[in-house]
Structure 1
């Protein structure tokens, strides 16, 4: 006899209602179900339902977590949790009593899928403040550097200008004032005629000139001081890397009748070679460096003599200058500022007969060191003014100058021919350009006129005589 099915159905309904209440309590609004819920186990008395020896087990309901909405999300979509259907597993049942049920029922677990809403990433706009601050700092740095450079430039301008003026004035005070070398040898000093006239003429911040006249054998003397550009900051920095010296050049304009045929130069060896290549009078008349003569004192080894003849070199290098400046011992002590000396009667320009001296200036406090160098100027004015060549040397120098004059004349003639040829070429080119601009009718008339002129020129000339 089969057992009634109604008690079993009531038991199933009771279990389903209990599982529904458990799920409803865990998903109460404002609370989340804890992940580790205790398994609720209830034992049912089989005597109540008259089902002895039928233990029942209740399956666990899987925990469901509801994501909390992001407060930044303006419109979050509500998600409804879906509870998976719970299944009741009967571990023991009677196969003879229940028909149509499967022999094995698998445990189905369903997980509620919730849509995860990710908030949109907010676009971060770059803050322009740091860039602006860095640009301002850079502009301030550039302005500070420029202003500092201008201040240094202005300060250096006035200090450098003062240094050059002090150096020039110290030279004039040593050699151009009362009881000095130039005051004893020249009657007129300075650029004016009065007693209050200035001694120096300032042509620039680093160029000063001194003039003296009133002496025999010469028309006058012009000394030009070319100092360092101390007033220019860039030039001062350049001079620190490439050092240069303060120099003074003294030009003596000799009288035409007071100087014989003399071409002579004395300088340091490197400078002498450069002068021989660059200066035209030394190229034409001074062949090579004069070797020291036998049995006689000569200039120091650092110096070289370039002369038209050995006679001129021997006559101009006297014992006095060797002892004072150009000797081996004296040059080491007094010749530190010597650069070059050039004596010539074939210089280009208005004044052909000149004496040229070039010295290096010492510091303003050490002007006494170049006293012997400055004393060479009046000494050589008198020496060259009184000097006369021998007849043999004069004949050679006159022949050389005549040859040089012929070469100069040929060069002048060739230059004139080139100028005339160039002028003719330009004129012909202008006529051709003018003809190209004429019209066809004008060209035809011009050709007819030229043809008539040629025919008239080719006709025989008829001489007419009048009868008396």
Structure 2
């Protein structure tokens, strides 16, 4: 599983802080109780504070440890309960869509950290299966929990991954529907990698009726958007727009995350869960309806010759830009290597004797003269 690494970094940091607090607390208690020395002698040491200060410090450390423990237990139990509820609702909703759901016959969920859970479903045409990734709020992290009281709280996020199979002919079409705030965030990431491919292929920004104003819709041609987002689906998007982060349909690859790099044909639906548990079934059902429609449309939609030609041209352009990017990166690496080699030679020459430096300079001049002569001969 590609997401198993670095999932518990935050929890490890918390455990380290708790352990440090416990060690400090033990040291202070031992220092206070050491040997039954008189208070006057203890106060002479600059490393040991007076008894009142010591007690306040110990109480603060104990309170910190208790806060960490309570927050961790509460957050873990809450996230596990929410993940199980989502899995149960998904199992009910997927009964008519997929032949099998759940990690196995006995296990429905796969836990990947206190905030990360996976759910699977297989057995449907046009797709090898549904992967549900749950990225829940870091409720067990006391720092994340308290920071949410003063800023925008973390949201429970779910991503549907639907890899499309290769046993059917799919038209060259790409669609990216993304919230503007999410678009700005992705553009600010290192090298802008998540959006480079999508923006090159889905080059046209369209305004569609029924799409919320805080969303950007990009695709090759208006025919693609009309086919993939009919009025029924646009109504669902309008009704659930405040929960949707992005919808991406691609048949030429994507670099959103590690899951997207596993296949060229992919549908990715990213959304947040509502704060009220009563709205959870309706939101999950709407997101699943949108996802299933996109899967069927990917296998059944046929583009007009004009839109298909434009899509192919944009893909050729994307390949050319990718090649230019690779060549530019190689040129920069080669220039860096030349500079490093030149610096190493200069350092080595600086350590030579005067006589060796003169021989080195003479050899270098001869090499430059021979290079100029060969260049002039070629001309």
Task: Say whether the 8 Å CA contact 2:118–2:132 is kept in structure 1.
Answer: yes
Paired residues for 1:55-454 under 5 Å: 135-176=50-91, 180-191=92-103, 194-196=104-106, 198-242=107-151, 243-255=153-165, 258-268=169-179, 270-271=181-182, 279-287=195-203, 289-292=205-208, 298-300=210-212, 303-323=215-235, 325-327=236-238, 331=239, 336-346=242-252, 347-348=254-255, 349-362=261-274, 363=276, 366-370=279-283, 371-439=285-353
Task: Say whether the 8 Å CA contact 2:158–2:272 is kept in structure 1.
Answer: yes
**Deviation (angstroms), 1:287:** 4.2
**Where is the helix percentage greater, Structure 1 or Structure 2?**
2
CA pair 449-290 structure 1, distance change in 2 beyond 3 A: closer
CA distance in 2, matches of 1:445, 1:271: 62
Residue 12 of structure 2 is matched in structure 1 by: none
Scaled by the length of structure 2, the TM-score of the pair is 0.69
Residue 40 of structure 1 is matched in structure 2 by: none
1:240 aligned counterpart, secondary structure: coil
Task: Say whether the 8 Å CA contact 1:171–1:364 is kept in structure 2.
Answer: no
Deviation sequence 1:147-190 (CA, Å, 0-9, x none) = 122112212211210000000011001113xxx33343334534
Task: Say whether the 8 Å CA contact 1:249–1:357 is kept in structure 2.
Answer: yes
Equivalenced residue count is 308
2:270 aligned counterpart, secondary structure: strand
- Name structure 1 gaps, 5 residues minimum: 1-127, 454-468
CA pair 150-413 structure 1, distance change in 2 beyond 3 A: same
CA pair 318-446 structure 1, distance change in 2 beyond 3 A: closer
CA distance in 1, matches of 2:157, 2:221: 30
CA RMSD of aligned residues (A): 3.5
**Deviation (angstroms), 1:393:** 0.8
CA distance in 2, matches of 1:159, 1:267: 33
Deviation sequence 1:221-275 (CA, Å, 0-9, x none) = 3221111111122221111222231111112222355432222223445546666
Which has the larger Rg?
1
CA pair 246-439 structure 1, distance change in 2 beyond 3 A: same
CA distance in 2, matches of 1:449, 1:285: 53
